[in-house]
Amino acid sequence: MNEEQNMQKLSIGILMLTVMVIVAPTTSLVQAEQSQNSTESNTAMTNSTMSEKVGQIDVKMSEQEAKMKAKMAEKEAKMTDKEKALKAKMAEREMNLKAKMTEKEEKMKAKMAEKEKNMKAKMAEKEEQMKSKMTDKAEQNKAKMAEKAEETKAKMYEKDAKLKAKMAAKEAKMKGTMAEKEAKMYEKMTEKEEKIKEKQSEKEIPPPSEPQPPKTSGS
């Protein structure tokens, strides 16, 4: 903004000087013509006087031109110095910004690397914990399965023993029942056999006859 204002002021100054340069000779010429016209009726101006005035105008024009050139050069020099200073400041600021950005970038990279390292460490720790828990659970499951297997075996053995005991008791009972039945049958068979034998003996042996009285001669 300051540079634009300075440039505007400089442009206005140049315009004013240019107008002065153009107007000043014109005014002098007009005055000369007026003087010439006014004196035509009386006497004509000598050539020496006109030459003198023209010379004065040329001198004034040269002086004003020189002043304008000097001012322009001075202002250009000032503008060049300001421009150089601004460029230097801008370059310095740019370098500072680049340095700050580089520093921030390095800090961000370091933080990201540290965070990544921490995350990897945490993940590794969690993985180890999970493996340990899985191993513990596997061992616990194995222990439970072994315990259940032993309990199942014990129950099976107990049931087997009970079944064997029941089977033995039933077998003993059946044997006793069979023996009892066999004894009864044997007794019945013996009784029947005795009866049959008695009947057969009764049929085979006649009963003894009654003794007859002896015969007499007279009969």
Examine the pLDDT at 76 and tell me if it is beyond 80.
Answer: no
Q: Which of 3, 11, 20 is nearest to 63 (CA)?
A: 20
Give the integer Cα–Cα distance in Å for 153 and 134.
28
pLDDT tens figures, 79-91: 677 777 888 888 8
Cβ atoms of 79 and 6 within 8 Å: the answer is yes
Q: Which tokens hold the place of 67?
A: 């002043």
Distances (CA, A) of 218 to 211, 212, 213, 214: 21, 17, 14, 12
Examine the pLDDT at 210 and tell me if it is beyond 70.
Answer: no
Give the integer Cα–Cα distance in Å for 195 and 189.
10
**How much is the pLDDT for 67?**
84
Give the integer Cα–Cα distance in Å for 42 and 98.
83
Cβ atoms of 29 and 57 within 8 Å: the answer is yes
pLDDT bracket for residue 219 (50, 70, 90)? very low
Sign of the four-CA dihedral 108, 113, 116, 121:
negative
Average pLDDT, the chain: 76
Give the integer Cα–Cα distance in Å for 163 and 174.
16
Examine the pLDDT at 145 and tell me if it is beyond 70.
Answer: yes
Higher pLDDT, 105 or 199: 105
Examine the pLDDT at 27 and tell me if it is beyond 70.
Answer: no
Q: Looking at this protein, which amino acid is placed at residue 81?
A: D
For the segment 113-127, the average pLDDT, to the nearest whole number, is: 92
**How much is the pLDDT for 195?**
83
String of DSSP letters for 87-103 = HHHHHHHHHHHHHHHHH
Give the integer Cα–Cα distance in Å for 57 and 21.
11
**How much is the pLDDT for 68?**
82
Q: Which of 24, 83, 22, 19 is nearest to 11 (CA)?
A: 19
Higher pLDDT, 9 or 175: 175
For the segment 182-203, the average pLDDT, to the nearest whole number, is: 83
Report H helices in the chain: 2-40, 47-204
Examine the pLDDT at 187 and tell me if it is beyond 70.
Answer: yes
pLDDT tens figures, 35-75: 555 544 444 555 566 667 767 777 778 888 888 888 877 77
Examine the pLDDT at 133 and tell me if it is beyond 50.
Answer: yes
**Considering just the CA atoms, what is the radius of gyration of the chain in Å?**
78
Give the integer Cα–Cα distance in Å for 207 and 200.
13
